[in-house]
């Protein structure tokens, strides 16, 4: 974790008072409000916005950009800045001290921040998940909980589309692999390649195979060997930790 980096480098991360990399190196003459990085015609989202504070020569920032931002699919928008201020009319809870610092704003106020990055995208995604998910979703995702049968979302969803990770937005299952299992949980016979990580689960006096999201690491459900052809697998997934994105009309009509 980034705390381990601080133990090894007591002067801190890239940033103020750290390795000599200062905030705002290339910001001279530019507005300090991160809105100048928002695409034309768009605005910062008051109901949930990430602002990523970075420095021009910060290697940790470059790693974060490469490992997280370059493949961003989350529904939460982000903007980047070399400044140190909150967007105009918004407020930070405390001063910044290192880069990168990722701040989640809601209704113009800082809700939480993630400071430093030393690899391991799942740590970041799980931090973001704690800001986005409902208490029930967090119970399933982070405590390996199970929803009550027939209570989860998307159980009866039949439209063409993709089921994605609710935090990262990464694709997990396509709708044409979903089937009615009669169990009360959304069931699939095949995942999107590379979307899942399977782990042995010996909890509750049983031996099962846990299904987790490869992108965020959250718990999704379990997989069993009683599914239909062609795989014979039944990925039994908690619907409350799936987000369904329907295909666009033109794509769905093909």
Q: What pLDDT digit, counting tens, does each position of 203-243 carry? A: 888 899 999 999 999 999 999 999 999 999 999 999 999 99
Mean pLDDT of all residues in 166-192: 97
Q: Which of 33, 30, 131, 39 is nearest to 90 (CA)?
A: 33
What pTM was estimated for this model as a whole? 0.84
Give catalytic residues, as residue numbers. Answer: 236
pLDDT above 70: residue 153: yes
Bridge partners of residue 243, in order along the sequence: 164
Do residues 60 and 9 lie in contact, with contact meaning Cβ atoms separated by under 8 Å?
no
pLDDT above 60: residue 254: no
pLDDT above 80: residue 136: yes
d(CA 181, CA 224): 12
Mean pLDDT of all residues in 66-70: 95
Pick the CATH number of 161-252 from 3.90.1150.220, 2.170.150.20, 2.60.120.10, 1.20.1050.10: 2.170.150.20
Confidence of residue 35 (pLDDT cuts 50, 70, 90): very low
Could you tell me the maximum CA-CA distance found in the chain, to the nearest angstrom?
64
- Cβ-proximal residues to 100 (8 Å cutoff; 6+ apart), any chain: 14, 52, 53, 54, 58, 60, 61, 64, 115, 116, 117
Bridge partners of residue 223, in order along the sequence: 209, 235
Do residues 142 and 240 lie in contact, with contact meaning Cβ atoms separated by under 8 Å?
no
Name the CATH topology of 2-132.
Glutaredoxin (3.40.30)
Task: State the span(s) of the chain assigned CATH 2.170.150.20.
Answer: 161-252
Q: Residues 158, 159, 160, 162: what is their CA dihedral angle, to the nearest 10 degrees?
A: -80
CB atoms within 10 A of CB 102: 24
Between β-strands 78-81 and 49-53, what pairing exists: parallel, antiparallel or unpaired?
A: parallel
Q: Which of 24-28, 51-55, 132-136, 210-214 has the weakest average pLDDT?
A: 24-28
Q: What pLDDT is attached to residue 22?
A: 38
Q: Which of 217, 77, 118 is nearest to 69 (CA)?
A: 77
How do residues 3-29 score in pLDDT, each as one tens digit?
444 444 444 446 543 333 333 333 333
pLDDT above 80: residue 252: no
pLDDT above 80: residue 158: yes
DSSP summary character for residue 34: G
Check residues 205 and 168 and name the one with the higher pLDDT.
168
Task: State the span(s) of the chain assigned CATH 3.40.30.10.
Answer: 2-132
Q: What pLDDT is attached to residue 123?
A: 95
């Amino acid at each position: 974790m980034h705390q381990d980096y601080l133990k090894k480098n007591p002067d801190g991360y890239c940033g103020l008072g750290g390795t000599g990399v200062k905030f705002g190196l290339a910001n001279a003459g530019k507005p300090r409000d991160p809105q100048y990085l928002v695409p034309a015609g768009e605005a910062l989202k008051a109901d949930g916005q990430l602002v990523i504070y970075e420095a021009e020569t910060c290697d940790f920032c470059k790693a974060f950009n490469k490992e997280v931002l370059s493949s961003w699919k989350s529904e939460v928008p982000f903007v980047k800045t070399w400044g140190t201020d909150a967007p105009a009319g918004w407020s930070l809870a405390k001063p910044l001290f290192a880069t990168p610092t990722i701040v989640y704003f809601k209704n113009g106020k800082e809700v939480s921040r993630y400071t430093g990055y030393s690899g391991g995208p799942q740590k970041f995604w799980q931090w973001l998940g704690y800001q986005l998910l409902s208490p029930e979703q967090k119970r399933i995702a982070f405590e390996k909980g199970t929803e009550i049968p027939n209570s989860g979302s998307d159980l009866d969803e039949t439209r063409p589309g993709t089921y994605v990770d609710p935090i990262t937005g990464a694709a997990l299952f396509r709708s044409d692999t979903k089937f009615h299992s009669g169990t009360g949980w959304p069931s699939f016979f095949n995942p999107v390649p590379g979307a899942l990580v399977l782990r042995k689960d010996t909890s509750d006096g049983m031996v099962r195979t846990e299904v987790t999201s490869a992108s965020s690491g959250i718990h999704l459900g379990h997989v069993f060997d009683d599914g239909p052809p062609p795989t014979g697998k039944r990925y039994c997934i908690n619907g409350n930790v799936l987000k369904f994105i329907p295909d666009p009309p033109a794509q769905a009509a093909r």
